Amino acid sequence: MKQTFNLQRSTFNVETRQAFTLIELLVVIAIIAVLAGLAFPVFQGVIDRAKKVQAKNDVTQIVTAVNAFYTEYGKYPLTPNPPADTTYALSSATNDKLFNELRNVSASENTRGIVFLSPPQVKDSNSPRSGISGANNQYYDPWGTPYFVRLDTDYDNFVDNPYSSNAGAGKNPSGVIAVQAGAIAWSLGKDKSGGTGDKNAGNAADDVISWQ
């Protein structure tokens, strides 16, 4: 008698779980942290360059607006008596007075009501940047410092240069370091601190100027 044996083969489905171990997870987090650390200075550099471009554009527009005012009225805004070069953004002469005239906001000398300049309003008056503050009407640079503007309100075709070298420095007829222009404007840059010597060194190195 022939016996038949049925051999049944059991098939085992082995499920392989793919998951991060704790060590692998920590390695991934460490790699991400390193990459983020490398990327942040690059990102910050891009932001700083964008702010410098904006500040350069702003100071150029300020000078253009002042010159347009002169063309329209035959004088610079708010010429003192007796005439002398005027610097705005100092504690004794905040720049709101000048920009009120150029924006035709509470203007006393812009009698034709011309808007020579129309900067945006700042987003936060408690930390003003890149525009006109609603709190004091001053015009602030991208780093939160009022723009400086110097006008030739003694009408000798020169304004004193805030730097003594490397900033297009010339001399007026009296021998004073000066720029031959009717108006100049500048920003103190990221460090919010200006220099009085070499434009390319120290606190002045990051300043943004209109005349170069």
pLDDT in tens, 52-109: 999 999 999 999 999 999 999 999 999 998 889 999 988 778 999 999 999 999 999 9
Going by the DSSP 8-state scheme, the letter that residue 45 receives in this structure is H
Paired with 87 in beta bridges are 150
Query: What is the pTM for the complete model shown?
Result: 0.80
Region of poorest pLDDT, from 33-42, 46-55, 179-188 = 33-42
Q: Give the C-alpha distances (Å, rounded to integers) separating 169 from 88, 187, 195, 206.
A: 20, 17, 14, 17
Please return the burial class of 208, using the count of CB atoms within 10 Å of its CB with bins 0-12, 13-18 and 19+. buried
First vs last Cα of the chain: how many Å apart?
Answer: 113
Which are the contacts of 67, defined by CB distance < 8 A and separation ≥ 6?
182, 183
- Whether residue 147 contacts residue 58, with contact meaning beta carbons closer than 8 Å, is answered with yes
Across 169-198, average pLDDT: 89
- The more confidently predicted of residues 146 and 25 is 146
Paired with 187 in beta bridges are 208
SS3 35: helix
